[in-house]
C-alpha cells in the first residue's frame, strides 16, 4: 500500500516532463476533498511569474498524462495556480523554492530580542533558515523556533 506522500510523489513524477516542457517549477501539490469532489491542485511558478495561459496549457497536458497513468481512481477536479504573492511557506520544497526571494518569518520565542525577521532567503537546511537582512548581513534563524514564514509582499506605491 502506498501512503499519501508516496502517491503524491508518483503524481508529481508523472507531470514532471510536462512541467519541464513549459519551463515551470512545481511549488506545491495538494490532494483534498472539497465538498463532494476531490481536487488535485498544483501550484506552479517560473522566472518572471506564471500567467493564466501557463496554467491552462499545463492543466490540459497534465490532465492527459494523469488520465493515462491510472494513478487517480476517483473523479477529480484538476486546478493549477500560481503560489500567490503572500503564500505561507510550510514545506521544505516551498522554502527551497523561495531561496533568493524576500521572506518574512516569525519565531515562537524571542531571538536576540526579536520575534520577526525579514530578508532575502539565502539558505535552507534541516536546522535553520538563513536570511540576508541587509547586504552582507546574514541572520540564521533556527527551524525549531520558526512559527510561520511567508513571502514578503513587494512594496507598492508612489515615490516622491
Domain boundary among 47, 81, 115: 81
Rounded Cα distance, 2 and 71, in Å = 11
| Shared domain check, 75 and 15 | yes
Rounded Cα distance, 39 and 42, in Å = 10
The answer to whether residue 160 is domain-embedded is no
Distance of CA 86 to the CA centre of its chain: 11
CATH number of the domain bearing residue 16: 3.30.300.70
The count of domains in the chain is 2
30-65 per-position pLDDT tens digit: 999 999 999 999 999 888 889 999 999 999 999 999
76-133 per-position pLDDT tens digit: 999 999 988 777 888 888 899 899 999 999 999 999 999 999 999 999 999 999 999 9
Rounded Cα distance, 7 and 1, in Å = 10
CATH number of the domain bearing residue 129: 2.30.30.180
Rounded Cα distance, 109 and 42, in Å = 33
Amino acid at each position: 500500500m502506498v501512503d499519501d506522500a508516496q502517491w503524491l510523489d508518483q503524481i508529481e513524477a508523472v507531470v514532471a516532463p510536462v512541467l519541464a516542457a513549459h519551463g515551470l517549477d512545481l511549488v506545491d501539490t495538494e490532494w483534498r476533498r472539497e465538498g463532494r469532489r476531490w481536487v488535485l491542485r498544483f501550484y506552479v511558478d517560473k522566472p518572471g511569474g506564471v500567467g493564466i495561459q501557463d496554467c491552462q496549457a499545463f492543466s490540459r497536458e497534465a490532465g492527459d498524462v494523469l488520465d493515462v497513468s491510472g494513478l487517480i481512481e476517483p473523479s477529480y477536479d484538476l486546478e493549477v495556480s500560481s503560489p500567490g504573492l503572500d503564500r505561507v511557506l510550510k514545506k521544505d520544497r516551498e522554502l527551497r523554492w523561495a531561496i533568493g526571494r524576500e521572506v518574512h518569518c516569525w519565531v515562537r520565542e524571542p531571538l536576540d530580542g526579536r520575534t520577526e525577521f525579514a530578508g532575502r532567503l539565502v539558505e535552507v537546511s534541516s536546522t535553520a533558515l538563513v536570511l540576508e537582512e541587509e547586504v552582507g548581513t546574514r541572520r540564521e534563524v533556527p527551524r525549531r523556533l520558526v512559527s510561520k514564514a511567508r513571502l514578503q509582499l513587494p512594496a507598492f506605491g508612489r515615490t516622491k
